[in-house]
Amino acid sequence: MSDITEFERRITAALERIGLGLGGLERVDPDRPDPAEVEALREALESERSANAQLNERVKAIRERQETQVARLDRRAHEMTERAESLEAEVERLRAVNARLRETSAALRAANAEGLGDPAAIDAAMAAELASLEVLRAGDRAELEAIIADLRPLAEGGASHA
């Protein structure tokens, strides 16, 4: 019987050594990941996902701001084009009226050189000069409106910051 107890003791000791060996194998097994390492990788992945989401939000905000600014600049370019066309039309009208004024002035000078005081030529010259002044005034008004339109956003921006 003493042999059986000795065998039992030896078998138990062997099983304990096997158990310890298997425990060591589990820690060394390359196919089995380390739970601490897995958790660290998960945290790193989550951190990167969070950073990526923040970057995406920033890109979206920048894109929206850029689109707003491009739309504002397009609107501004359209307004400037309209103003330039308006001023160009006023300049063209002024040129036409000034050409008519030169013609009537030349006719009036010719009539005065001959000693003829032609009332129709005087009336035509006065009408042409009056038309020239009206066109000049309209051109000045258009130029002032353009200046006011340029200053209005600055004044409104200053009022909103006050």
Quick count: other Cβ atoms within 10 Å of Cβ 81?
10
pLDDT at 104: 78
Q: What Å distances lie between residue 158 and 68, 148, 161, 162, CA to CA?
A: 20, 15, 5, 6
10-residue stretch averages of pLDDT, the chain, 162 residues long: 75 79 59 76 87 90 92 88 83 82 78 73 78 82 82 73 49
Q: What Å distances lie between residue 120 and 107, 111, 132, CA to CA?
A: 10, 11, 18
Burial group, residue 87, by CB count within 10 angstroms (0-12, 13-18, 19+): middle
